[in-house]
């Protein structure tokens, strides 16, 4: 798959005739919307697990020293909690650019924390994209995150902001929490600071 997924996503016409679209965010889209939205509601999707397995060459790293950002792994029985945004279709263009480093739009069922379900979109970077990094020992992933830096800022901020945002939503994500603990430790913060 081409590294820049913008054109592929533009050909995805599933919600083209809709006045508004629900978007599910599970990574930076939880803590940094960066776009106008009509409504925002905590939600989850079934069958996916959040993992820091996607390389970032454009936001939290560089082509020479990629960072690591979140993607979703298909997992039977899993639930991934995040934030749903109701957006107008014009927001998808800039989102396709923001998510261009390997992420593709996927149609999913969103389940709102306060009840109800709807069809919506999520951006997922699957293992066949050129920036995919996959699994590694937690210490290796944490060190890469602690050291990487890209045009959007330090990779550690992406991880620690996500960790904070999930805690604020009362969501326990063992993968994110463990990575955050390791990165804080590498940063010299007391391991029990949180």
Query: Scanning residues 119 to 138, which ones bind ligand SIN (CB under 6 A)?
Result: 123
Question: Residue holding tokens 């960066």?
Answer: 34
- Scanning 23-31, 43-51, 148-156, 184-192 for contacts with ligand SIN by CB under 6 A, the matching segment is 23-31
Contact with ligand SIN (CB under 6 A) among 29, 121, 166, 180 = 29
27 near ligand SIN, rule: CB under 6 A: yes
Instruction: Judge whether 127 counts as a catalytic residue.
Output: no
Q: Residues 6 or more apart from 121 whose CB is under 8 A from it?
A: 14, 15, 21, 22, 23, 24, 92, 105, 106, 107, 108
CA 39 vs CA 12, 88, 112, 162: distances in Å: 23, 10, 12, 20
Rule CB under 6 A: choose which of 99, 145, 160, 182 binds ligand SIN.
99
**Residue 69 interacts with ligand SIN (CB under 6 A): yes or no:** yes
Interface with ligand SIN, residue 28, by CB under 6 A: yes
Residue 38 DSSP class? S
Q: Which of 25, 55, 61, 120 binds ligand SIN (CB under 6 A)?
A: 25
By CB under 6 A, name the binding residues for ligand SIN.
25-29, 69-70, 99, 123
């Amino acid at each position: 798959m081409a590294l820049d997924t913008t054109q592929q996503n533009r050909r995805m016409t599933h919600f083209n005739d809709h006045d508004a679209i629900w978007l599910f965010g599970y990574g930076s889209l939880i803590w940094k919307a960066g776009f106008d939205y009509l409504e925002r509601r905590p939600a989850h999707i079934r069958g996916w697990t959040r993992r820091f397995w996607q390389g970032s060459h454009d936001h939290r790293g560089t082509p020479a020293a990629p960072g690591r950002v979140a993607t979703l792994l298909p997992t039977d029985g899993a639930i991934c909690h995040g934030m749903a945004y109701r957006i107008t279709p014009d927001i998808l263009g800039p989102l396709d650019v923001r998510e261009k480093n390997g992420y593709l739009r996927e149609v999913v069922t969103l389940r709102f924390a306060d009840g109800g379900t709807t069809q919506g979109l999520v951006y997922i970077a699957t293992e066949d994209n050129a920036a995919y990094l996959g699994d590694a020992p937690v210490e290796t992933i944490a060190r890469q995150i602690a050291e990487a830096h890209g045009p959007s800022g330090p990779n550690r901020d992406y991880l620690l902001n996500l960790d904070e945002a999930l805690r604020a939503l009362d969501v326990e994500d063992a993968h994110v929490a463990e990575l955050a603990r390791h990165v804080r430790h590498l940063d010299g913060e007391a391991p029990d600071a949180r």
